[in-house]
Chain A
Amino acid sequence: MMFGAGIGVGMLTYSTAEPIFHFANNPDVIKGLTTAQDPDNVRAAYKWAALHYGITPWACYGIVGMALGYFGYNRKLPLSFRSSLKPLFGNLVEGLLGDIVDIVAILATIIGVCVTIGYGVSQFASGVYNITGLEWISSANGKPTLMAQLLALFIIIGASVFSAISGVDKGIKWLSNINMGLSFFLLVFFAIFGATLFAFKQFFVTIWDYILAVPQMSFTVWPEGALADWQGGWTVFYWAWWIAFAPFVGLFLARVSKGRTIREYVFGAMIVPSLMGLTWLVLVGGTAIDLELTGIAQGSIINADISAQLYQTINLILTPLMAKLMSFVIVILLLTYLVTSADSAILVINTIASAGNRALAQTRHIIIWGGVYIAVVATLLTAGGMSAIRSAMIVGALPFSLVMALMSISLVKVLVFGRGKSN
């Protein structure tokens, strides 16, 4: 459930796209250190993919969850974002300042989930096109049509609202179990039919390269030129996405971590999911790269739209009938990831808006937030496509990045200097 809500759609969309895009271009290629689409570029491609899907997202989620959990359960304050800022601002967080903090958290959650839904509906529509071949779903350039995306949006949000109304113990738990089973099935499929040896070797090489390079990759900012363009399009976008998702996943992590030590929490909420993400990247993305390196794909994966690269990989390793069946499984998995993310986010928003109490939301309020999701995603998709949603998210995540920094300072202040004090 944690993996599905936190990173599932991103992994499904980018497990092929991320390594494949970086295999074609990354900062090492721009600097002339490696050659695009050459075997010597594979390690660099995975190093940069790991920067985005390694420990960074889980560190963003983890620090928010740790602060919420510590102040909520250890200090017995309401499970609310403003509670974790009390050591810095005292009782000021009871008033307008606290309200603004909670509004910022809600806005970040909405806009972060909108990006996830935006990518999800594109890939959902591409999957349906791969199964049915219906012309109205896909445009000439391989991207899903606006009509197909809007229809997918209504289906997904409708299912999410229905699931949210049924509650965490019914619809959400049921869907989470399905997507966990299907995710495992997909990983086993790629382990059997994909480039397993390539992935196995790449897994350990990537961990080594990542550990050596992560400080430099994380703290280097290129101010201009092609490197700055690449960093703005990839790394900054991911930072914004993970920060926007942090209130949503952080609140969830805080709830499931009650009774754990901080050491157990760091291992379970940061290290384990990071390694799971890397496994996904090397197995699924590694198969795509191997197909390109061996000449079987002949550029068909690299040149496919981002929403269709996973399906194109499937098309190359299976017969047409089996590829359609596997595409159907992926579409169902994607649907469950999307519905899980959207319905969990609706419940999280209600929790934030009710001072940490999750048992009070009424059906009509869940429906209202579902309508808000449809309105935001539909209008932004119509106005400027995914690039508009991405830009709105970067703007929307910015205020919460400040809240996140303050939460970190507050937590350090209490853990290091204030243990045992009552306030």
Chain B
Amino acid sequence: MPELDASNSVKPLSINTDTSGFYKGYNRFVVLGAKLLIGMLVLWAGFFPAEAGAAL
């Protein structure tokens, strides 16, 4: 039965992170990408509530 904390060596995964900005160690593309998409949803529902309400 595999354990979730067993030690297996593996080639490390390198994820790009930033050292400054929102906080140390965040990924700029992920943070800004998520905020951009959510921002577009909010703007659409905020400026065109009737269309958004009908579409959703």
A interface residue numbers (CB < 8 A to B): 66, 69-70, 73-78, 80, 82-83, 86, 91, 93-94, 96, 98-100, 102-103, 106-107, 110, 254, 257-263, 265, 349-350, 352-355, 357, 360-362, 364-365, 368, 372, 375-376, 379-380, 382-385, 387-388, 391-392, 415, 419-420, 422-423
Contact = CB atoms under 8 A, between A and B. Distances in A.
User: What 5 pairs between A and B have smallest CB-CB spacing?
Assistant: A384-B53, A379-B45, A391-B56, A355-B15, A383-B49
A91 B6 CA distance: 23
A86 B14 CA distance: 11
A350 B3 CA distance: 27
Interface string B6-42: 1111111111110000111111011101110110011
Contacts of A380: 45, 52, 56
Contact of A74 (B5, B11, B29): B5
Contact of B13 (A86, A99, A106, A388): A86
A360 B1 CA distance: 34
Nearest to A69: B4
A383 B30 CA distance: 28
A107 B4 contact: no
Highest count of chain B CB atoms <10 Å: which of A100, A102, A262, A422: A102
Given A372-B38, A376-B38, A355 B17 contact: yes
Contacts of A423: 10-11
16 contacts: A73-B4, A76-B12, A77-B10, A86-B13, A94-B15, A99-B27, A99-B29, A99-B30, A102-B30, A259-B4, A355-B15, A375-B38, A380-B45, A384-B49, A388-B45, A422-B10
Contact of B2 (A76, A261, A357, A368): A261
